[in-house]
Structure 1
Amino acid sequence: MNAYRLAASASLSDREADAECFRRLIATLESVEHGGDVIRRNQAIAKHQRLWSLIQRANAVEAGMVETEDRLLFARMADQAQRYGIRAMLDSTLSLSPLIETARNVLEGLEAGGTAS
């Protein structure tokens, strides 16, 4: 979550800060994806879990800034990502590809949304 604070403190827009968090998450997960170090793998997954927990919490609160449909989508994504993350922590043979792919999809959405404004 230090990555989030660093990104936010660099005067980035919310969307840019979110995109930077997902870039860093992807890099972290990719760095341990094929390695054999279970401790590093679980640390990377723990970062994944914390980011999605923040997203889930943020979307659980009605602030009027995000459509209800979008908030529900992010809450469902967070739930699914966290469930898979728990399974991946318990089974070190489980691929991290679904976590990486989900993060990439969110990143693409953030980057596409940033160019449209």
Structure 2
Amino acid sequence: MMFHPAIRAYQSVTATSMSDRETEAVCFRMLVEELEAASVDADSAARERVLAKHQRFWSMIMKANTLDNGHATEDERKLFIRLADQAQRYGIQAILDPKLTLMPLIEIAENVLAGLETVP
């Protein structure tokens, strides 16, 4: 059977692309880096941008886990929704109080990242 070159190219890329778990780990790694940078940066606008991105990120995670797509158990979905809720609540407090440390947000993201990197 003859394949169009575009199909072969697509198959080549998908064969070497990252798994969902690897993609999620990259997202959390980037989130940790951005939160750490914002925590030491005196620029309030940079902190606000990172916190806004943080809120959107956790909002997407919460939305994805409210739907049963068959990829995660109900307990895992509940855990992610609880983490998203905690992270967003603290994120709102950090937006309202610029003196509030970002360490709890960094720790939540690092814990999720550690879980993503250790589970095969």
1:90 — aligned with what? 96
Bigger CA radius of gyration? 2
Q: What do the CA deviations read for 1:56-94 (whole angstroms, capped 9, x no partner)?
A: 011000112211011001001000100100110110000
Number of residue-to-residue matches in the alignment: 106
- Structure 1 vs Structure 2 CA RMSD: 1.4
Select 1:109's aligned residue among 91, 108, 115.
Answer: 115
Matched letter for residue 94 of structure 1: L
* Structure 1 segment 7-22 matched on structure 2, within 5 A: 11-22=17-28
Matched letter for residue 107 of structure 2: E
Rounded to whole Å, the distance in 2 between the matches of 1:64 and 1:12 is 20
Q: What do the CA deviations read for 1:35-54 (whole angstroms, capped 9, x no partner)?
A: 21111001011111111111
**TM-score normalised to structure 2 length:** 0.84
Where in structure 2 are there 5+ consecutive unaligned residues? 1-13
Matched letter for residue 45 of structure 2: I
Rounded to whole Å, the distance in 1 between the matches of 2:56 and 2:20 is 18
* Structure 1 segment 46-57 matched on structure 2, within 5 A: 46-57=52-63
Rounded to whole Å, the distance in 2 between the matches of 1:70 and 1:33 is 29
Please identify runs of 4+ aligned residues in structure 1 that moved more than 6 A. none
Matched letter for residue 29 of structure 2: R
Select 2:45's aligned residue among 39, 55, 67.
Answer: 39
**TM-score normalised to structure 1 length:** 0.86
2:33 — aligned with what? 27
Matched letter for residue 56 of structure 1: M
